[in-house]
Amino acid sequence: MSKTISGFSKLSKSEKIDWLVNAYFDKQEDTKTILKQYWNSNDKLQQLHDEFIENTITNYYLPLGVAPNFLINDKLYTIPMAIEESSVVAAASKAAKFWLDRGGFKTSVISTTKIGQVHFIYKGDHARLKEYFNTVKSKLLEAVKPLSKNMEKRGGGILDIELRDKTAAIPDYFQLHVSFETADAMGANFINSCLEQFAKTFKSEALNFEGFTTEEANIEIVMSILSNYVPDCLVRAEVSCKVEELTENKSIPADVFAKKFIQAVKIAEIEPFRAVTHNKGIMNGIDAVVLATGNDFRAVEAGVHAYASRSGSYSSLSHAKIEDGIFTFWMEIPLALGTVGGLTNLHPLVKLSLEMLDKPNAKELMQIVAVAGLAQNFGALRSLTTTGIQEGHMKMHLMNILNQLEANPEEKTAIVNHFKTHTVSHSAAVEALEKLRQ
């Protein structure tokens, strides 16, 4: 059967699946059964999921877990986390419990500015372009008033428009660099709609500007799009306590642990090979909450990693110090999030996740998400500098291994008990299960 098809999007879901299994799978009935197992039995809810994207064939589930005992600015939270990786929720929960007794997490929003750009080509005198921009700027803002009216009612809107000369990098290349405040919305559609209107007005008004020659008036718009790099949409999260209070692990003195912890952070600050994995651990916590609350984790990832490279070298997002006997661990991170619009009003589990967090506004959600990332980083660094990362991770991963080996409930109980006093590895689990079955 041909693996190319025309008009696929116009087929019904059943017809899509029929074509797919016939073209790509040997066990066709088994494949259909698996796909249908993940359909929701509630037809209305399934239709909602089908219409999130195009060409839906089934639902792809991730576990939704919770990490309790997060004290953030003296308020207790249980944080929802959608993630498949073993040990992430456990590590976050453990870190939350550790800091619960030491004052909890302190957070603050530094700024919430988001950016969009109109990229264009202008072949002419730079001074005349600047003169034109100064003339047309008020018209640009006037043209988007119908689009920005509701956003302004919610406390958002357009903050400023700048003309930026990028001709040193690309000949004749300029930008309209626009800053936005989107209040509790993620704001992507709002920003992009405003930018496209800016582009139309900027191009059409140029034809009437008397200071331009005919060639100069012919401005070429390349594209208009928001930026996921948001270095001015920043939140800070931190924890601190007296050094002698870092006493959870009895195998290492508190002062030795603190110094080793700080050394580990410093290595991530100067060594990109370590920094990438270090920051990935932070994103384990951040992405899980971003997903659970219906936000765009791809945008968050892109913006965060760009921010980690802002000095010209990729570096740690988190930092640590000891000052006057106080251990402090903190992070400043860019997070463009929303609590209205998008999936936040559509996905039932997103609604529950936001309700679990006491229906936060965008600034509050920024702080909660940042804390989840910092807690995850603390948990990882604590393991790395004491017992090693694999001890806890592999114990959490053990159930995945046993499921792969199709262990029954009695076997799982016996093997879990066995590994309470033995080191977990895939080969060790296989060996233990084989011995048990013999």
**Over the stretch 133-180, which tens digit does the pLDDT of each residue have?**
999 999 999 999 999 999 999 999 999 999 999 999 999 999 999 999
Whether residue 98 is found in the same domain as residue 245 = yes
Please list, in sequence order, all residues whose beta carbon lies within 8 angstroms of the beta carbon of residue 284, skipping any fewer than 6 positions away: 83, 85, 88, 376
Same domain, 250 and 138: no
Is 58 inside a domain boundary?
A: no
Domain boundary residue among 195, 227, 259?
227
Residues 122 and 166 in one domain: yes
pLDDT at 213: 95
Q: pTM (2 decimals)?
A: 0.88
What 3-state class would DSSP assign to 33? helix
The letter for the amino acid at 153 is: K
Same domain, 177 and 132: yes
CATH code assigned at 203: 3.30.70.420
Alpha-carbon span 264 to 274, nearest angstrom? 9
The verdict on 130 and 217 lying in the same domain is yes
8 A C-beta contact, residue 190 and residue 147: yes
pLDDT attached to residue 343: 80
Q: Express each pLDDT in 106-134 by its tens digit.
A: 999 999 999 999 999 999 999 999 999 99
Last residue of a domain, one of 210, 227, 244: 227
Same domain for 181 and 135: yes
- Residue 362 placed within a domain: yes
- Domain, as residue range, for 168: 114-227
Structure tokens at 293: 């609350």
**Confidence at residue 19, expressed as pLDDT on a 0 to 100 scale:** 94
**Count: domains in the chain:** 4
**59 falls within a domain:** no
Residues 256 and 318 in one domain: yes
Positions of the chain with pLDDT under 70: 1, 388-397
Whether 102 and 243 map to the same domain: the answer is yes
Task: Please name the residues in contact with 171: beta carbons below 8 A apart, sequence gap of 6 or more.
Answer: none
Distance, CA of 63 to CA of 86 (rounded, Å): 11
Domain co-membership, 42 together with 171:
no
In a domain, 321, yes or no: yes
Please name which of 115, 111, 113 lies closest in space to residue 175, comparing C-alpha atoms.
115
Is 57 a member of any domain? no
Residue 296's identity, in one-letter code, is: D
CB 196 within 8 A of CB 144: no
Q: Is 186 exposed, middle or buried (0-12, 13-18, 19+ CB in 10 A)?
A: buried
Cβ within 8 Å of residue 1, ≥6 positions away: 22, 23
| Residue 279 maps to a domain | yes
Same domain, 83 and 166: no
Q: How many CB atoms within 10 Å of residue 198?
A: 26
- Looking at residue 396, its pLDDT comes to 61
Contact of 235 with 110, CB cutoff 8 Å: yes
Residue 1 lies in a domain: no
Residues 240 and 105 in one domain: yes
Q: 180 - beta bridge partners?
A: 114, 158
Write down which residue in 354, 371, 387 finishes a domain.
387
- Chain position carrying tokens 């604590």: 382
- The CATH number linked to 352 is 3.90.770.10
Q: Tell me which residues are annotated as active site.
A: 85, 280, 296, 393
- Element of type H or E holding 208: none
Does residue 258 belong to any structural domain of this protein? yes
Q: Are residues 353 and 309 in the same domain?
A: yes
